[in-house]
A and B are shown apart, each in its own frame.
Chain A
């Protein structure tokens, strides 16, 4: 046992002390947060500016087409498709006479094609204007319409899940997000750390140090030490990421303008209410949004999710890295061999990821159930289902079964790979395929 510990230490320390590890560990959270904030920033302050000439024979549309930071509407005379560019417009919007009895098209001509988002926002505005006009024609007064519009903005679907007597707010959006994110993280890390194990084994074999070490420790100890050491590196990286991301987010929160911060705290104290409709108006839109985000995030069962994530990350890692180690042990100098031998291992990982994408939307299909029990895919798929809640989406026995099978699974792959490894690591100059590897595993060698 003492020797395994030495091997684990070496594998762990040589990697953690490596500059690349530190770089990835510290830059990754910055990159992720930067991407989130950056894309949010870019989407609100798009640099594209459009000046649109509107030809409108109806007259009632004008009030609905309000200028925004990106779009400027004008209603000039004597502008048509032949001369709108020379008059300084980027687009021309030609509206026909609307007739409530039949569907009509309106036309947008542009110098540069317009993005889908912008097109949708324009057509939404026009359709609302037409709808309003029709309602008015049918006898509904403008002020009634306005109050309906205003009221509809504050209605929101709140889904609750029933748990015996208590019911709890559920958020499918959040569940999807968590499920997708954790599935994706496990997918990426299986590849990163799995291939790290494989390359480590290949290095030892091609350097011929394996033979020196195997005259001191058992091959199985060497393999296990490497797998555990690299797994510990992965775990360290996750813990650092979690710490960094939470502290960066709280730093980001403290940089908000003080009045918004104040409003958010008030919202937290009053549980989202600010003295009825009048109070609502006081809370600015951004404070409301931040509060809602915090509220939903706080709703998730984080200890369970993080606990399961660590379990499934480790389980999946142990399951697959043993197989990666087996591949590494049979490869000779040629990395091409590794590519083709890796294929049967990477295929189930990729498939599991695809299944995870489906499961994030439908957590309770038979496919989702079986994929979360079978250890080839359970680390990713079960995480996607757990995000929807235990025991509401995943019952306790399912979770327990999946975990037990995963443990049995990695014990099996470790045993199998140990057999392949001890033969492969000392064998040079022979091209090996999976058939031979399986043969090694099930026949007595030494």
Chain B
């Protein structure tokens, strides 16, 4: 399938550092894409280039196969920044209307869509309230509605679930799935790996301005698997290191083993059956994205880069 968004060799250098240093990747239409990275990795700069706030120093961005033109394509993008922003003293209805009109909707269209979304997310009673009267979670919901109101092809959500209770988080999550199903492409930027595993089809991990990981969640887990298997059995004592595998640790009624180089999982099973162990369950343990993230980022001392100078 043709990608909706294609970044090609993007570079953005500030006076003292390379915020984005030659990053390329494609995002497929209708996919939910995770952009991961530690603080200060260059995610925000990357997102600001995709939203047309910054221009790249080098490289190019293709949207729908054509060179990205901020002043025209901006209406095809919905961006929800990490730090939420709304006018505190402005009435919610007027505010949503204003921001939707800035995205290029006519007043009538905008009103119709706001009414639709407010009804859908049970926010009808908010119209004449002010943002300062809303709780953090409520304003989060409002921000989400404002982001997706103009039906953008590309929706960029920076930490969309922070501050939401599980109920509202699920509500938003369902909406995200719904939007993706309808053909919107979603870029999802977060530090919360369990959410990424759950939601994203495809991820890219950036660190120190460079891309260090790119692929589907399943592929990446396969790539970083360590051949560790969990064996659930009532006779744990009998399982010890041998030529086929070594025991990593024991957890409850499970034994975690690491298969030695040159052997495969069936050989483990054969070995156990021959040893007359009764096996209740046997499965491979894939690393969590969290583990992969920590493993890849920890060695680079990325935290020192959190201070940006321009």
Contact = CB atoms under 8 A, between A and B. Distances in A.
Interface of A: 3, 6-7, 10, 14, 203-204, 207-218, 423, 426-427, 430, 445-446
B81 A208 contact: yes
Main secondary structure of the interface of B (DSSP, over half): loop
Given A215-B53, A215-B74, A446-B53, A427 B102 contact: no
B160 to A, nearest CB: 14
Contacts of B52: 215
Contact of A423 (B89, B90, B310): B310
Contacts, number: 63
Contacts of A430: 309-310
A326 B87 CA distance: 20
Nearest to B84: A208
24 contacts: A6-B98, A14-B89, A204-B87, A208-B81, A208-B85, A209-B86, A209-B87, A210-B85, A211-B53, A211-B79, A211-B85, A212-B80, A212-B81, A212-B85, A213-B99, A215-B81, A216-B74, A216-B99, A216-B102, A216-B103, A217-B102, A218-B71, A430-B309, A430-B310
Contacts of B99: 212-213, 216
A421 to B, nearest CB: 13
Given A216-B75, A218-B71, 16 more contacts: A3-B102, A6-B102, A10-B98, A203-B87, A208-B81, A208-B84, A209-B86, A210-B85, A211-B85, A212-B80, A212-B99, A215-B51, A215-B74, A423-B310, A430-B310, A445-B310
A207 B85 contact: yes
Contacts of B85: 204, 207-212
B198 interface: no
Cβ-closest 8 pairs across A and B: A208-B85, A209-B85, A208-B83, A215-B79, A216-B102, A211-B81, A446-B54, A215-B51
Interface residues of B, number: 30
B51 A212 contact: no
A68 B86 CA distance: 67
A212 B310 contact: no
Nearest to A426: B53
A207 B310 contact: no
A215 B98 contact: no
A272 B212 CA distance: 93
A445 B13 CA distance: 10
Interface in B81-97: 81, 83-90
Interface in B255-309: 309
Contacts of B208: none
A445 B55 CA distance: 9
B101 interface: yes
Nearest to A6: B101
A427 B83 contact: no
B146 interface: yes
A213 B84 contact: no
Contacts of A217: 102
Given A14-B90, A207-B86, A213 B53 contact: no
A16 B101 CA distance: 21
A446 B102 contact: no
B291 to A, nearest CB: 31
A3 B100 CA distance: 11
Most A C-beta atoms less than 10 A away, residue of B80, B85, B99: B85
A427 B310 contact: yes
Contacts of A215: 51-53, 74, 77, 79, 81
Nearest to A221: B102
Contacts of A6: 98, 101-102
A245 to B, nearest CB: 31
B132 to A, nearest CB: 10
